[in-house]
Homo-oligomer: A and B are copies of this chain.
Amino acid sequence: MSVLIVGSTALDSIKTPKAENPRLLGGSASHAAIAASFFAPVNLVGVVGEDFPKRYLKLFQKHKVDLTGLQIAPGKTFHWSGEYEVNMNNRRTLATELGVFETFTPHLPAAYQTTPFVLLANIAPALQGHVLDQIRKPKFVVADTMDLWLNIALPDLLKLLKRVDGFVLNDSEARQLTKEDNVMAALKKIHRLGPKYVIIKKGEHGAILSQSNGGMFVAPAFPLHRVVDPTGAGDSFVGGMMGYLSTASGKVDDNLRKAMIYGSVVASFCCEGFGLKFTSRITRAAIDARFKELAALTRF
């Protein structure tokens, strides 16, 4: 089955202590779509400007990402630039130019409206909701978010949470949303907001899944010798997870653990290169090999 992914499609200029990389392919939907493409056909919903490099369109096409839902609008592509500190954990935004994103309204092509797996990657929660309005009988809907929406669009986000099956956020966002320092206490509070499945991402420390039926999974991250650029790792995680989920036979509940590990593996590759440079060059075989490696690293 295929996955519908909506989110930002952007150009990222990323500075680290060692290098400067202007106008990389970035954005939550771009990372998630490429990650999911290793497992399943992807329907992409987003917007870019007329300045969006053709080579990035070709990259999506090479990964069989359907671009019928990608609007090319007059104006400039959303541009984010940021800088990482030496330890690669702290980053600060240098500039955000919304461009064509300012007036973006996602519109789903007819063929997309019955996509069974839906990933509402990070984007304004009102737009995530607007995509959901156009979807008919989805099998599994997951939303991701970021601290910005907790700050400026919390009521929209809370409305959205009542409509999704799964919600993914990172540990600091979970703390901000629930005012709870303890992850388990935070998970409990987030379930009360609606989602049956809550996943808290902890970066290099892995992720935790909690199900409202009491189920729980502690997922490891793949230990990396070198982190080049963590931008998009969280998006790669949910993208890989949803990609695997959509093709695995059986119930979501039975596949979610493996799906998270696949997500974790794709996220680890993402960190090994700038933007999508590394991820876009890997293969399903490389993903499967690292999946096995991670299983061996954590078995006891």
Contacts and interface: CB of A to CB of B under 8 A. Distances in A.
Contacts of A217: 297-298, 300
B218 A223 contact: yes
A297 B87 contact: no
Given A202-B205, A218-B223, A300 B261 contact: yes
Contacts of A260: 300
Contacts of A64: none
A185 B225 contact: yes
A226 interface: yes
A142 B261 CA distance: 32
Nearest to A175: B87
A14 interface: no
A50 interface: no
Which of A219, A226, A257, A298 is packed against the most chain B CB atoms within 10 Å?
A298
A258 B298 CA distance: 11
A148 interface: no
A185 to B, nearest CB: 6
Interface string A261-300: 1000000000000000000000000000000001101111
A225 B182 contact: yes
A178 to B, nearest CB: 13
A132 interface: no
A26 interface: no
Interface in A233-261: 257-258, 260-261
23 contacts: A87-B181, A89-B181, A182-B224, A182-B225, A182-B227, A183-B204, A183-B223, A184-B224, A184-B225, A185-B226, A202-B205, A205-B205, A206-B220, A216-B223, A217-B298, A218-B223, A219-B300, A220-B298, A257-B299, A257-B300, A261-B300, A295-B300, A298-B298
